[in-house]
Amino acid sequence: MLLFSLFINASIARTFPLGPCPDPLPAGSADCVIFAKDPSGADGGEIQRFRNALREPVDMRLGVALSGGGSKAAPFAMGVLAGLSDSGLLADVDAVSTVSGGTYAAYFYFNRLIARDRMRAREEPVDERYVSGLFYDCTYRHRSLERLSGDPMLNLCMGKGLQDAASPVHNLAQAFVRCRQDVIEPMDCNAKGKKEDFSEYASAISLFAASVISTPFHHVANTLFDWTIDISPTRSSYSIGLGSTYGLIPNTADAIPGENQSDPHLASPTPRPEYFTNAQMVGDAVTSAPYTFGDLQTMYLKARGGARSAEENVPLWIITAHAAKSRSAWGWMSTPEPNYDRDIFEFTPFHAGSGRYGYWNRPLQALDLGKATVASAAFLDANAVKYRGAKKTGLALLAHGFNANWGVDIHNWNTSSGRRAAHSILPFPFYWLDGLHARSEVKDGLREAVSSAYIRLLDGGNSENFGAYSLISRGIKNIIISDAAQDTLGEMQDLCDLRDQLWKRKERTLHVPGLQDFGAHCAEQFESTKQHEQGYGIRNWPYPVLAACVSTNAIDTACADTASIAHRLFIIKPALDMECFYKSQQSPSEAYACQPGDKKRIDLSSPPQITKCAVSKDGDQNYLPCETAGYLVDNWPKTSNGKGFPQNGTVFTTVDSSPELYGAYRELSRHYVRSLGNDAGLLQSKFDQLAEQQRLRPMPLMEYETEPVSWQGDPFNAL
């Protein structure tokens, strides 16, 4: 009774301590929170006015969405940024919205922009090669130049004066990220291929042992009580790994081992922080010093007053996570109806929040950019809602029971510090009482906002896995999407989810002219009992860029009604045409026409010899990039039998990636995005051209009895 009385006294009159934001929001307003007037969370214009008052640009025309998908999505997103840099379109990008693995790549990019801004003197001119230099990499299949005799990549390396893996002076940024692909093994910078590297097994054993030892303490702090103390060894390793891989800025080639070596200084308990511009020690590991959303805001506002060049331009960075509806066991046993307007939590340089918890008119101070990246990418958590039913509950029990929760708790700004203090001394199950009490004090539309003393943030893919919805909500007309989530069958589930939510929340329809019967296919995806699997052939994919549109015309499946198109989507997907690749190597003097359908049986029992490949940004777009082609051939017949690349599993690539796999994904998307050209003013005409071509020859919808992972040398017999 004493505890209950203390809780009641501390929580009375303590909801919404910041107060509501006025609409419109005047300059210099005190801390406040704004909610959409519509109880569903749909913006009636008040949220957009709020953003613009906080200095988000009113008229943004080109956005980039980098999807989730762990360490598979990260290199693919990196390639999209690299391709935009190569073409010059990066100078025209107004906003970058990121989820999970896509946030890794954006963290790499923005961390380095902030570092440059902080180190540059006031009047010092911008290094014209700084941004493009972030994406230099001449380590083709991580071989030394001596072994590249006769390889077309050799001329590119020599011509640009770049160095190979043994001496990565001019391509430090990419060489370091490439060698650090074991993100859950902090500071193992390893140039060795996976088959040669056994250190991850020792790391996995030590993490398992640490998790077992820490589990009793975890249950005292986070089961018996709700203290939100993070003592998960796996989460700590993941966080440090992300921070070091994508956040550290090496300043010497000593930070990167030579071929088939692993630097003992980096893998030992005494690493060398002097190898990096922005290093800090976390225990025995070196990771990046924290940059804040305040640093991001300062740089952004400074750049907006400067020239619009690829070197000077700084896009608005929107990091998205999932704002969990529930933090308790009740949530583990239920699957709430998706609602992007309420579920998506945004971090920006100017504000933070979601439709469920409201938007605070300040950049979040509780998390720096690195921690926000971890929140956006926390795919392992008991509160995840990606699965349903018994599978969801079982995974939640395992994650919580074995201290493997990776989500992040922040203070709920709709509750007081007094309530949190009272909440912290209540043991299970009494700490649920404060939420019940708070919900009883407010009207229906705001009950979820006060139901917990904390906001649980986890992988943004639990709501929208593209990052496109935040750009669409801001009215951005042209959106380039990196769609790198696991999609072995070509089911396009994330695109179907976006289509469903756009209709429910905005009464707009997403059309894809290049995918046969796309609307009917999506409807089938949402059926509770599907009779068969169906999808679009990932390995007979002819489109470098897939065109889609968001339209007010529900029947304009061709995206031809220009007046009704609200948004044009340019979708880049890890998919390729294996027949086209094979034939292009058999007849390198003739550009083989990659078209959907009408595939012929070809013998893929032995790999082709690479006779021609695209080696630079000016390379022939009819051929795959050399690094991607090399990975396909090096991993034959696995890749020819429908296994692995370009659709490796998300979990596999996160815990077991390699330098070669990183390069293959990065160069594939880099190659694809360059086909958009170099003039943002021509994107509408480019879209019209793509939509018409793809409407005339759409990808056929295929049905599978089981997952097509073994095609006996013929990946096209399903057609």
DSSP 608: P
Return d(Cα 455, Cα 444) in angstroms, integer: 19
Q: What angle do CA 678, 536, 564 make, to 5 degrees?
A: 55
Which is nearest to 688 in space by CA: 494, 537, 542, 478?
478
Q: What angle do CA 115, 117, 123 make, to 5 degrees?
A: 145
**Tell me, what's the pLDDT at 599?**
55
Q: Are 332 and 396 in contact (CB under 8 A)?
A: yes
- H or E element that contains 34: strand 33-34
CB atoms within 10 A of CB 270: 8
Return d(Cα 459, Cα 407) in angstroms, integer: 7
DSSP 680: G
- H or E element that contains 346: strand 344-347
Q: Are 260 and 191 in contact (CB under 8 A)?
A: yes
SS3 93: coil
Amino acid at 132: S
**Tell me, what's the pLDDT at 125?**
63
Which is nearest to 633 in space by CA: 610, 601, 657, 659?
610
Return d(Cα 456, Cα 331) in angstroms, integer: 12
Dihedral angle sign, alpha carbons of residues 616, 619, 625, 630? negative
**Tell me, what's the pLDDT at 237?**
87
- H or E element that contains 242: helix 233-242
Question: What angle, 0 to 180 degrees and rounded to 10, lies between the N-to-C axes of helices 2-11 and 433-441?
Answer: 40
Q: What is the pTM of this model?
A: 0.90
pLDDT along the chain (719 residues), means of 10: 46 68 90 93 94 93 96 95 94 96 97 88 68 77 42 45 46 83 68 51 78 92 92 89 90 66 41 84 82 94 71 91 86 84 97 96 93 93 84 88 92 90 90 82 82 93 95 98 93 96 97 96 79 84 95 97 97 91 71 55 74 66 81 79 79 74 92 93 96 95 59 28
User: Phi/psi class of residue 55: alpha, beta or left (left: φ > 0; alpha: ψ in -120 to 50)?
Assistant: left
CB atoms within 10 A of CB 407: 26
**Tell me, what's the pLDDT at 687?**
98
The size of the chain, in residues, is: 719
**Tell me, what's the pLDDT at 500?**
97
